[in-house]
Structure 1
Amino acid sequence: MSMRFSGKVVVVTGAGAGIGRATAMAFAAEGLKVVVADLDVSGGEGTVELIRAAGGTSVFVPCNVTLEAQVRQLMAQTISTYGRLDYAFNNAGIEIEHGRLADGTQDEFDAIMGVNVKGVWLCMKYQLPLLLAQGGGAIVNTASVAGLGAAPKMSIYSASKHAVIGLTKSAAIEYAKKGIRVNAVCPAVIDTDMFRRAYEADPKKAEYAAAIHPVGRIGKVEEVASAVLYLCSDDAAFTTGHALAVDGGALAI
């Protein structure tokens, strides 16, 4: 265990599976106290069990990030449980869209924007005052390579991730002189439940997903977790307002 996060507290949303779970576990392995937040109670409690089984400290708080009262309660419970907040990884997100723009529905738009954009905005809205009171800290938001370019047949999702990057950059500038850094990670295709739903039913799509990355494979959740920990650490003390692609070279083509 390193000492770079000794005594610190982090909130991770969407921590019941995938990138969120891997990152919560990585934070715990570094000695942080981890507040696991997710709409999926079983998944969130499962993450806490894994952290505790490995000797870490964690608590689960159920949270729908689209509901202001629940986000407010998440932050209040973080303070009441651990007395402070140092870092946040706003990772909760959805993708439910696989068609051309004109075929999308208003329900899809509202759902995607609600979780991916409003959820990140609400979390930062209630995290930033706590970090200010603490004297500084760091926030990392989950965007996507789809937020750095186009995503055919996922236009609403792409727009939501562009918005996350906009929120990230704007907050970074607003709080740059207050000791708070705000960055985003932009994963390409990562081996998660979301990936499996989208691709594994069609082996050809899975093969294509691997081929779009020059490294010849899709990413691992642990690789995104490492990027998040870096952005939170003092190693990234001069990095803010940055959208870090974790993409196996996909954007370099």
Structure 2
Amino acid sequence: MSNRLESKVIIVTGGTSGMGSAFARRAASEGATVLIGARDKQRGETTVAEITAEGGTALFVPTDVTVEEEVANLVDVAVKEFGGLHGAFNNAGGGDVPGAIRNMDASFWNSVLALNLTSVFYSLKHEIPAIVASGGGSIVNNASVLGVVGDPGVVAYSAAKHGVVGLSRSAALDAAKENVRVNALVTGLVDTPLWRGHTERDPEAARAMLNLQPTGRAADEDEIAAFTAFLISDESPFINGAALAIDGALTSGV
């Protein structure tokens, strides 16, 4: 494993499982100091313990990304404890439940947007100044394929992820001259604990989703982690303001 992230301080929200955890481990293995911000203290501390047992440096900071003060605290801890901030993977989010717009409760709509879109706004608002003060760096926001295509059954989540793409592009333009890059990941099916749970609960629906996938498989978490590490590293200096598909061609025919 390379040390291309050596000496970088990187925040990972939603880093206790799935893509966030896989990236946190990858970043630490490449020499970064990783701060995991999430609500689940037990899983967060377990993830940190596993990273440190493998020789990495990590810290868990209890964080509800829907609360601005807690996001601000996460960034403050990075700066105060480790001297700065150089990157972030804003990965915290959650799924939707099937349902038509006409039947959707406004409180549910607001909760999905708070977790998947407003949380990214809070993160960017506080991460960008800290990264500027540290000399520059890179931020990756996880948007999913539903950030570029619609789904009549997953309305609020799709709207939020479309917002993440637009927010990422606007933030990239806002911070480009200060040496801060912002990109969005357009992730397709990924073999995470959430996906595995779905396949166990509803194998038929899972097979139907896989049938839409040109590759016939879900991505491995480590594939997403490797690409994210490249985007946050100094090896991708001219990639900025992009919505980058890592979806096995899922959106290519749409």
Give the structure 1 partner of residue 136 of structure 2: 136
Looking at structure 2, the residues matched to 198 and 162 of structure 1 have their Cα atoms a distance apart, in angstroms, of 23
Give the structure 2 partner of residue 67 of structure 1: 67
Structure-2-length-normalised TM-score: 0.96
How far is the alpha carbon of 1:243 from its aligned partner? 0.8
How far is the alpha carbon of 1:122 from its aligned partner? 0.3
Q: Is 1:185 paired with 2:181?
A: no
Decide whether aligned partners of structure 1 residues 107 and 194 sit closer, same or farther in structure 2, where only a CA change above 3 A counts. Answer: farther
Give the structure 1 partner of residue 94 of structure 2: 94
Looking at structure 1, the residues matched to 208 and 59 of structure 2 have their Cα atoms a distance apart, in angstroms, of 39
State the AA in 1 paired with 2:162: H
How far is the alpha carbon of 1:121 from its aligned partner? 0.3
Give the structure 1 partner of residue 176 of structure 2: 176
Give the structure 2 partner of residue 39 of structure 1: 39
Decide whether aligned partners of structure 1 residues 152 and 199 sit closer, same or farther in structure 2, where only a CA change above 3 A counts. Answer: farther
How far is the alpha carbon of 1:152 from its aligned partner? 2.5
Unpaired segments ≥5 residues, structure 1: none
The 8 Å contact of residues 84 and 133 in structure 2, kept in 1 or not, is answered as no
The 8 Å contact of residues 96 and 156 in structure 2, kept in 1 or not, is answered as no
Q: Is 1:6 paired with 2:6?
A: yes
Task: After superposing the two structures, state which structure 1 stretch, 44-53 or 24-33, moved more.
Answer: 44-53
CA RMSD after TM alignment: 1.2
The 8 Å contact of residues 173 and 241 in structure 2, kept in 1 or not, is answered as yes
Give the structure 2 partner of residue 126 of structure 1: 126
Give the structure 2 partner of residue 108 of structure 1: 108
Looking at structure 2, the residues matched to 192 and 57 of structure 1 have their Cα atoms a distance apart, in angstroms, of 24
What stretches of structure 1 move > 3 A for 4+ residues in a row?
196-199
Looking at structure 2, the residues matched to 101 and 195 of structure 1 have their Cα atoms a distance apart, in angstroms, of 25
Structure-1-length-normalised TM-score: 0.96
Give the structure 2 partner of residue 50 of structure 1: 50
Looking at structure 2, the residues matched to 201 and 152 of structure 1 have their Cα atoms a distance apart, in angstroms, of 22
CA deviations over 1:116-161 (Å, ceiling 9, x no partner):
1110000110111111111211000010100111123001100000
Looking at structure 1, the residues matched to 48 and 151 of structure 2 have their Cα atoms a distance apart, in angstroms, of 34
Looking at structure 1, the residues matched to 209 and 154 of structure 2 have their Cα atoms a distance apart, in angstroms, of 15
State the AA in 1 paired with 2:20: G
Tell me the percent identity: 39
Give the structure 2 partner of residue 156 of structure 1: 156
The 8 Å contact of residues 63 and 71 in structure 2, kept in 1 or not, is answered as yes
Give the structure 2 partner of residue 241 of structure 1: 241
